Amino acid sequence: MSIDKGIVISPGRVNILGEHVDYNDGLVLPAAIDRTVHISFSQRSDNFIGLHAKDYEQKCLISLLDLESRIDHNGDPIPDWAYFPAGVAHTLQQHGYQVHGFDAEYHSDIPIGAGLSSSAAVEVGFAVVCQELGGWEMDRLTLARICQDAEVHYVGVKCGLMDQFACANGVEGHAVLFDTRSLESKAVPLPRDTTLVIADSMVRRSLRSSSYNDRRQDCETAVVYFHELNPEIRSLRDVPHPLFLAHSAHLPPRVYQHARHVVEEIERVNQAIGYLEAGQAREFGELMFETHYSLRDFFEVSCPELDMLVELAQGIEGCLGARLTGAGFGGCTVNLVESEKAGAFIKKLHAGYLQKTGLQAQVFQTHASQGAHLLQQTQ
């Protein structure tokens, strides 16, 4: 059943464990968070999308009949921020879904460029808008894949599926275990009496595409080597840790370092599932620290500011785990903190980081939240 007006809330996400394994068929453990994109929308009687991005105080009017050209109704190139909703509408049309014209005003409190998936939140939110206006059914895995397709082919960013999946499928109070090979998922409860604290280093990612591609290539080089040993090995997920270590001398040093992180990170996620299901918060937190050290020392995607945030966090009472989250080279850390000590933790981490770096980190408490949804239907 379709509606004419409404409000959609679409969350950002934080990846708690399983970093840089999504393109190696690994398991990831993200959670939707209560930093969101808020979209107020109403149906139009024509074939245009009218967008008002309040955070930029910019507007754009785009024809649904000419999305491929990436121009607005005046014939000018659409602004960068409009690529995300336009790309979703275009990709939905390509998949045979009817997209109605609409007006939408939206804003976000997700830090942009900090590794909390602000772009995926916009994509998933507008996919839900189109679904509500169109009145058609779509499962959330399909919705996430369409949004990923929009980002890859319309926006031009080669991303995995994890971000869109987490924004679409978040569960209150839970992380979502997502198998990037089988695309199966399940909600896993986060430890009781703990909270997630995000610390934005205020250093924006300088991850050059060449740096990212180099690491992907190194992983693929390792897979080629192990595939020759065993043709059943298709990705680093298929390489047992003992086998990897036994053949480490046969890999170029850089390939060994980068691939080692992935092999061990996939193992850590498997361990983490048991800890979470048993409510073992401290053991789970230790895996978070281990992941950070691996991202710093083996995968080489940390930076001094992120390392400082983790070092400071580890010394503050109540912190059970901390690590960089996202692609790296800037952005945020995620911290697992005892709930009753979260307030003091936030103050101490902010003050310590300012003293050490001169930077004002944004440090805030968050919780695992519901995926993108219709908040209310307006009359």
What is the reported pLDDT for 365? 97
Angle at CA of residue 192, ends 338 and 348, nearest 5°? 15
The domain ranges of the chain are: 5-189+369-376, 195-366
**What pLDDT sits at residue 379?**
46
Say what the pLDDT of residue 159 is: 82
Pair 292, 298: CB distance under 8 Å? no
Six-digit token string for 215: 């690491």
Can you give the pLDDT at residue 263? 98
Distance CA 247, CA 226 (A): 9
SS3 content of the chain, % helix, strand, coil (to 5): 45, 25, 30
Its sign, for the CA torsion 119, 120, 122, 126, is positive
pTM summary value? 0.92
Phi and psi angles of residue 42, each rounded to the nearest 5 degrees, phi first: -150, 145
Residues belonging to the active site: 163
β-pairing verdict for 48-53 and 332-338: unpaired
User: 195-366: which CATH topology?
Assistant: Alpha-Beta Plaits (3.30.70)
pLDDT of res. 209: 52
What was the pLDDT predicted at 206?
Answer: 55
Q: Please state, in angstroms and rounded to a whole number, the distance separating the CA atoms of residues 182 and 179.
A: 6
| Model pLDDT for residues 157-170, shown as the tens digit of each residue | 878 899 999 999 99
| pLDDT < 50 regions, the chain | 207-208, 378-379
CATH level 2 (architecture), domain 5-189+369-376: 2-Layer Sandwich (3.30)
Encode pLDDT of 20-29 as tens digits. 999 899 999 9
